[in-house]
Structure 1
Amino acid sequence: MKVVIADDHAVVRSGFTMIINFQEDMEVVATAADGIEAYKMVAKHRPDILLMDLSMPPGESGLIATAKIHEDFPDTHIIILTMHDDEEYLFHVLKKGARGYVLKNSPDEQLVSAIRMVHQGGVYIHPKLASSLVREFVSHDQQADESNPYQLLSTREIEILPLVAKGYGNKEIAEMLHISVKTVEAHKAKIMEKLNLKSRPELVEYAIKKKLLDF
């Protein structure tokens, strides 16, 4: 199995590379430090598995990259690496095409098992979150929770909101995300409208409360 690892911490990339390369049936063919580089490595190597960190620096988060890579390279199965055992993160990344969700503090054997399971066509969810997923599917016909930002906002809006909350200006955000200033302004207006927010302090408070600053 060819594997690509995307994480913004070099020590994490090195550690996971050692674990994976120790397996007789696995090989890390490339690593990446952000979402943009992850896309390029997948395009170049066409791996079987991509281990994707969810929270990477501004430029392109794992969330955005997951959606793009799943759409353009459906044969590469994506496993999310994260510190967040939050069901909102889980539901959103699965909807964006991820096939696995592994916590970074999991034992080595769980990571290896997740890779093998996903490669064989299965889905791996950390045991701590499995019950939440079952409840979600059982109640799938219920109305969307209007307090859930992942239901209300688009993927791009979820990426822009924390940057605004952190104090970045329109031009800075546009450069980070490789979009126009007018596009940033339009997304900001939509965010404020959808969330019924009137000011930046309200937006910051919302972002903290919903853990969106982790992106």
Structure 2
Amino acid sequence: MDKIKILLVDDHKMIRDGIRASLAGTADISVVEEAASAREALKKIAQHPSIDVVVMDISLGEGEDGISVTKTITEKYQGVNILAMSMHDEETHVIKMLQAGAIGYMLKDQGMSDLVEAIRTVAGGESFFSKDVSELLMSHFVRKKTKPNAKKDMVNLTRREIEVLKKIAEEYTNQEIAEALFISPRTVDTHRRNLILKLNVKNTAGLVKYAISQQLIDM
């Protein structure tokens, strides 16, 4: 059985050493690399693109944070899943990490058995949230749903479709979008038609309205 390969990112060596030692006795998990900074994390993931899970601290010291690193990794390495592990249980930290691409979030005061379960779950491409984080998220989405001016649920769009949609909303022409995204005008037109179908709108005005409702452009 192949082991789940882990990159451990935390600016505290004592924590990295403790986690590595605790996971050493787990038959299906292996910490293959560790990093103490954002730059080091990106370097290590580039050297080991076969890593399955990055256990990512949010606060990395010296003004760095795990949120931007998470975004970069999830955009560049499609097969890598991010498990956030932090002392922070504030709603803004959790939401920002999820928006950046993390699919799991647990607090550092959880036990090692919880970390093992979280790693196994996230490695399988499924979400994992510790109990406190789950309750926080539930509260967030309940409040969001009951707001009178809450945004419509985001349709599942690809990253490229979102890029094209933003350019359309910013009044770029097909040719300008093509040049900005290094694709052909014909491909832009295909994306435009697909967006109209996916979002169930009639025309470009409908696309712009949707982009505004999702705050994809600055107003």
Identify whether the pair has TM-score above 0.5, normalized to the shorter chain.
yes
Partner of 1:18: 21
The structural deviation recorded for 1:122 is 1.0
When the two chains are superposed, the root-mean-square deviation of aligned CA atoms in Å is: 1.8
In structure 1, what residue type is equivalent to 2:122? V
Q: Structure 1, residues 62-83: CA drift from partner, whole Å, max 9, x if none?
A: 1111111111112110111110
Partner of 1:87: 91
Quote the Cα distance in structure 2 between the aligned partners of 1:20 and 1:77: 18
In structure 1, what residue type is equivalent to 2:29? M
1:66–1:97 contact (8 Å) kept in structure 2: yes
Partner of 2:38: 35
Q: Secondary structure at the match of 2:61?
A: coil
Match of 1:97 among 95, 101, 121: 101
Q: Structure 1, residues 113-148: CA drift from partner, whole Å, max 9, x if none?
A: 00011111211111012122123334545447xxxx
The structural deviation recorded for 1:59 is 5.9
1:48–1:119 contact (8 Å) kept in structure 2: yes
Partner of 1:118: 122
Quote the Cα distance in structure 2 between the aligned partners of 1:26 and 1:42: 17
Q: Structure 1, residues 156-176: CA drift from partner, whole Å, max 9, x if none?
A: xxxxxxxxxxxxxxxxxxxxx
Match of 2:75 among 56, 71, 82: 71
The within-5 A match list for 1:86-165 is: 86-141=90-145, 142=147, 143=149
Which has more radius of gyration?
2
1:36–1:59 contact (8 Å) kept in structure 2: no
Quote the Cα distance in structure 1 between the aligned partners of 2:39 and 2:121: 26
Q: Mind listing any 5+ residue stretches in structure 2 that lack a counterpart?
A: 151-219
Normalising by structure 1, we get a TM-score of: 0.63
Quote the Cα distance in structure 2 between the aligned partners of 1:33 and 1:77: 19
Q: Secondary structure at the match of 1:117?
A: helix
Sequence identity, in percent? Answer: 34
1:34–1:59 contact (8 Å) kept in structure 2: no
Match of 2:56 among 52, 63, 70: 52
1:102–1:125 contact (8 Å) kept in structure 2: yes
Aligned residues: 145
